[in-house]
Structure 1
């Protein structure tokens, strides 16, 4: 599956209309974030799941919007699974692995 980069609230709101999707917040300057993003890429390429990501350096207002709207404290890296307009699962830092993403989506 292709990784979709989002930068604006409108793009996020469009995604939020889908039944479920996975959003990853990624920092371009953090080695932990890079490792988590590689796990996310591996997961996204091997699974038929609606996915998107944002880089916090380029989309800080969007990152803050998601944190505030869904009451999920901002972290980076961070993975958030949305189902039916609600946060179904989230994880950060070293807890973002191919396995944890797969388990969250299958739950």
Structure 2
């Protein structure tokens, strides 16, 4: 799985623009949370490039970059959770899940 790092707030505007051409996934990950680590590992183990070929995945270390996480909640009108995955299409969040509801099969069903 090839993560794109989300490290700058201005990337959110780029993500919105990208989402008009292809769906974008944002994973907000807490590096000190065991649930977050498990959700990340499960997602990475289940990931199949051929099923998610059109999906561009972004990874946010929300402990280091909490202001960006807060901006995501505001920009995409979702309640902050950790871990959390969002699918962005046409500039809007069309799907979000958190904790053990983060599942590859559910993500690809949104594409």
Matched positions, count: 105
Query: Compared with structure 1, are the counterparts of its residues 7 and 83 closer, same or farther at alpha carbon in structure 2 (3 Å cutoff)?
Result: same
C-alpha RMSD over aligned residues: 1.5
Mapping 1:1-107, distance limit 5 Å = 1-18=1-18, 19=20, 20-44=23-47, 46=49, 47-48=52-53, 49-105=55-111
TM-score by length of 2: 0.85
In 2, distance between residues paired with 1:15 and 1:70?
11
Structure 2 alignment gaps of length 5 or more: none
1:76 match: secondary structure: coil
Q: Which has the higher helix share?
A: 1
In 2, distance between residues paired with 1:45 and 1:15?
22
Q: Which runs of 4+ in 1 moved over 2 A?
A: 39-47
Structure 1 alignment gaps of length 5 or more: none
